[in-house]
Amino acid sequence: MTPILRTLAPRAAALALIALLAACGPAKKSVFPPAITLQEVTAKPGGVWHVTLRVRNDSYGGMSFGRFQGTLQVAQLGGVLLDANIDQDIPSFAADVTRIDILPTPEMSRALTELAAKGSAGSLPYVIDGRITATPEKEDKPRTFPVHGKDWLSPVPGIPDTYR
């Protein structure tokens, strides 16, 4: 091999490798379904509940959240529809809240009243099922993700008609 080829061959190979890697572009960040839970429920006079939903982004990149549609079931009673326009950008592995007002079923209201009578020692199970629309970072089109959340509601000590 000639001296010129000996010096040009490694350089050409290195340039080819750099060009190949550059063509691959940035790696996409992993996207996972978000999670939704109740952060707080406040029962207001007239039967309306102010519901604070906590939306958690479990992905490696930020997401722009659009609409959430689903149902809330308290204490295995009939559920009510939830429909919230979230309209928020949430960074990776972070959470934010959105608030909506709902009109619960009479059975749900009665269950919450009975829970309040038990004080901070009482709790009620709840389940949220639905779907949420979000656009992951570096994507142009929104995706629809199924969401499912369940936990317990308990009265907040010292704050009447408020549950977390």
- pLDDT score at 70: 96
Which residues in the chain belong to E strands, given as ranges? Answer: 35-43, 49-56, 63-74, 80-90, 95-102, 124-136, 143-153, 162-163
- pLDDT score at 105: 92
Nearest CA-CA partner of 73 in 81, 65, 62: 81
Helix (H, G, I), strand (E, B) or coil at 92: coil
Quick one: CA dihedral 164, 41, 127, 38, positive or negative?
Answer: negative
Question: How far apart, in whole angstroms, are the C-alpha atoms of residue 164 and residue 160?
Answer: 12
- pLDDT score at 78: 83
- pLDDT score at 39: 96
Residues in the chain: 164
Nearest CA-CA partner of 39 in 157, 161, 159, 154: 154
User: Per the structure block, which two tokens stand in for 60?
Assistant: 């490696």
pLDDT in tens, the chain (164 residues): 566 656 666 777 777 667 666 666 666 678 999 999 999 999 998 899 999 999 999 999 999 999 999 999 998 888 899 999 999 999 999 999 999 999 999 999 999 989 988 887 889 999 999 999 999 998 999 999 999 999 999 999 989 999 99
Residues forming a β-bridge with 50: 42, 101
- Enter the pTM of the model: 0.80
- pLDDT score at 81: 95
